[in-house]
């Protein structure tokens, strides 16, 4: 589309120059009219071309991390993820943790355990909640405690079916260690309560 439209203003300018030498000049009027009609479309096309890679498909809100105390090497990050198109959370990274994984909670031998998953589907228009007792982003091998009141930057990578990747950066609020503990049910344990992760 752009390659077709781009030469038009140039052609119109050439018409103007020809017209300066021969009057009356209907071609020039036509060219101006055409330019007026074409340029908004061209501007929109250019805008679209520039804007679309940055146009977020994915929105992450309410991101928070359970704070830790000295000696705690791992904790969970929670958030709501929404996407306008089908996508997948395929990776997460954070400067506060050298190892970051995507985890799910699953019942194993009647005990709720967490385990790493390669990705988490985010269907178009259906928010996916990462919350205590469910999916979470696991921050591991923490070199120092995450203190409440600070924020933990997390970069989330999403990949759509056609392979296109989008990264979303969030500043997750560090909440108290006891924040958001799920109701105790059948021995369920919240992420970050000290169980093993591998
Ligand atoms: Cu976990």
CA–CA gap between residue 168 and residue 181 (Å, rounded): 26
Q: Provide the pLDDT for residue 180.
A: 78
Q: Provide the pLDDT for residue 178.
A: 87
Neighbours of ion ligand 1 (CB under 5 A): 103, 114, 138, 191
Ligand 1 centre to CA of 108 (Å) is 14
Q: Provide the pLDDT for residue 179.
A: 83
pLDDT tens digits, 103-133 = 999 988 999 999 999 999 999 999 999 999 9
Ligand 1 centre to CA of 117 (Å) is 10
CA–CA gap between residue 70 and residue 145 (Å, rounded): 5
Which contacts (CB < 8 Å, 24+ apart) does range 166-172 have?
A: 166/56, 166/57, 166/58, 166/87, 168/56, 168/58, 168/59, 168/60, 170/60, 170/63, 170/79, 171/63, 172/63, 172/64, 172/65, 172/77, 172/79
Ligand 1 centre to CA of 23 (Å) is 78
Nearest to 61 by CA among 39, 76, 44, 83: 83
Ligand 1 centre to CA of 137 (Å) is 7
Q: Taking the mean position of all CA atoms in its chain, how far away is CA 53?
A: 12
Q: Taking the mean position of all CA atoms in its chain, how far away is CA 195?
A: 29
Q: Provide the pLDDT for residue 9.
A: 42
Residue 153: beta bridge partners?
171
Q: Provide the pLDDT for residue 49.
A: 41
Ligand 1 centre to CA of 197 (Å) is 6
User: Distance from first CA to last CA of the chain, Å, rounded?
Assistant: 51
Ligand 1 centre to CA of 63 (Å) is 16
Ligand 1 centre to CA of 93 (Å) is 14
Ligand 1 centre to CA of 198 (Å) is 9
Q: For the chain, which ranges sit under pLDDT 50?
A: 1-26, 29-30, 32-33, 36, 38, 41-54, 183-198
User: What is the H or E stretch that residue 35 is in?
Assistant: helix 26-51
């Amino acid at each position: 589309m752009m390659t077709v439209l781009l030469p038009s203003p140039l052609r119109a300018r050439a018409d103007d120059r020809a017209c300066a030498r021969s009057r009356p000049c209907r071609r020039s009027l036509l060219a101006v009219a055409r330019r007026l009609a074409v340029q908004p479309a061209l501007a929109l096309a250019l805008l679209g071309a520039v804007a679309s890679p940055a146009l977020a498909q994915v929105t992450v809100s309410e991101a928070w991390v359970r704070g830790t105390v000295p000696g705690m090497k791992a904790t969970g990050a929670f958030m709501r993820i929404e996407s306008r198109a089908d996508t997948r959370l395929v990776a997460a990274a954070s400067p506060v943790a050298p190892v970051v994984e995507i985890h799910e909670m699953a019942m194993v031998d009647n005990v709720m355990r967490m385990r790493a998953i390669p990705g988490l589907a985010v269907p178009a228009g259906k928010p996916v909640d990462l919350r205590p007792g469910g999916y979470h982003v696991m921050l591991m091998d923490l070199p120092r405690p995450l203190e409440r009141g600070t924020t933990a930057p997390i970069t989330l990578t999403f990949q759509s079916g056609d392979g296109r990747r989008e990264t979303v950066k969030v500043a997750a609020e560090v909440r108290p260690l006891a924040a958001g503990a799920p109701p105790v049910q059948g021995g369920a344990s919240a992420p970050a309560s000290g169980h093993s992760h591998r």
